[in-house]
């Protein structure tokens, strides 16, 4: 009997779409997914940084990385990105919403455009990404979502008023969706990092020298934060707060009366003015 060789198996790797992937936590999350053998769709405004990261990860891990230079602050960005991926027949198995912006300073000293930029990217763009990609996941019966919030989401933070409020929105939305989507095969995780050594933090420090007083032990390592987030997303945890100090602060803020949280937050925040 003549043996007919079987056709080679086609390996279908999960695909992770990561916004804000050009630097910081987003870039480190891309490395985590690449090490796990996931193909990548890297999204940010800076295509040069994305191309460099894509080349690095393809060479190291043998995955495929696509680059999309997209300004998610544009009102039509998520819709256009989703439509483009549909035309290419690409499904997103893991959605990582890491794109974000931070402006630090007294609320009254910041102009309206700065406040609006926080709202546009941290709130509107993230919600639009979720509304475009989660229905696809639910229809397929599987998917994972990671939304990057902050420990600032757990309490009011003077000098970060709009930013903290935007991250409280991200946390609340993530927790609601984590419950709403139970039984669908789709999980939603909120990452709530503390102060982390990223380009965003460096930029804030350059704008306000008083932030240089932050003790080094309070500044988290970006690779460790990303690793904790990746593992929590794979498990389907609703919330991940990397670092014992941040976890303690989160627990304390949720157990402490609101008036006292405001008092302590105000005392700390005013020291950076």
State pLDDT tens for residues 218-248: 455 899 999 999 999 999 999 999 865 665 5
Per-residue burial over 107-127, b = 16 or more CB atoms within 10 Å of its CB, e = otherwise: eeebeeebbebbbbbbbbbbb
Beta-bridge partners for 147: 97, 190
Distance of alpha carbon 64 from alpha carbon 229, whole angstroms: 22
Distance of alpha carbon 77 from alpha carbon 210, whole angstroms: 36
Lowest-pLDDT range, 30-39, 119-128, 129-138, 155-164? 155-164
Write the pLDDT tens digit of every residue in 70-97.
Answer: 999 999 999 999 999 999 999 999 999 9
User: Which domain covers residue 134, as residue numbers?
Assistant: 15-270
Instruction: Check if the beta carbon of residue 24 is closer than 8 Å to that of residue 200.
Output: yes
Q: In this structure, is residue 3 part of a structural domain?
A: no
CA atoms within 13 A on the CB side of 63: 26
Share of the chain above pLDDT 70, in %: 75
Count up the domains in the chain and report the number. 1
CB within 8 Å of 32: residues ≥ 6 apart: 226, 227, 229, 230
Distance of alpha carbon 162 from alpha carbon 206, whole angstroms: 20
Q: In this structure, is residue 9 part of a structural domain?
A: no
Span 179-207, average pLDDT? 77
Find the CATH number of the domain harbouring 136. 3.40.50.720
Which residues are annotated as catalytic?
A: 163, 167
Distance of alpha carbon 96 from alpha carbon 116, whole angstroms: 22
**DSSP 3-state of 193:** coil
Q: In this structure, is residue 58 part of a structural domain?
A: yes
């Amino acid at each position: 009997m003549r043996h007919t060789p079987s056709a080679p198996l086609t390996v279908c790797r999960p695909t992770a779409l990561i916004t804000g992937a050009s630097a910081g936590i987003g870039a480190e999350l891309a490395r985590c997914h690449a090490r796990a053998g996931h193909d990548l769709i890297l999204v940010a405004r800076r295509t040069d940084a994305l191309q460099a990261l894509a080349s690095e990860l393809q060479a190291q891990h043998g995955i495929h990385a696509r680059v999309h230079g997209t300004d998610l602050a544009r009102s039509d960005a998520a819709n256009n990105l989703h439509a483009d991926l549909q035309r290419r027949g690409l499904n997103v198995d893991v959605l990582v919403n890491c794109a974000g912006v931070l402006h630090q300073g007294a609320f009254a000293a910041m102009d309206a455009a700065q406040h609006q930029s926080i709202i546009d990217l941290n709130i509107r763009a993230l919600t639009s990404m979720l509304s475009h990609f989660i229905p696809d996941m639910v229809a397929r019966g599987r998917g994972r979502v990671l939304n990057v919030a902050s420990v600032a989401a757990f309490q009011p933070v003077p000098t970060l008023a709009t930013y903290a409020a935007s991250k409280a929105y991200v946390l609340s939305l993530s927790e609601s969706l984590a419950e709403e989507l139970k039984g669908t095969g789709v999980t939603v995780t909120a990452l709530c990092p503390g102060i982390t050594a990223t380009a965003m933090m460096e930029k804030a420090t350059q704008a306000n020298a008083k932030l240089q007083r932050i003790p080094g032990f309070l500044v988290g390592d970006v690779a460790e934060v990303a690793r904790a987030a990746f593992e929590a997303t794979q498990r389907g945890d609703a919330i991940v707060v990397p670092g014992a100090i941040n976890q303690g602060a989160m627990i304390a803020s949720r157990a402490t009366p609101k008036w006292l949280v405001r008092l302590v937050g105000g005392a700390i925040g005013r020291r950076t003015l």
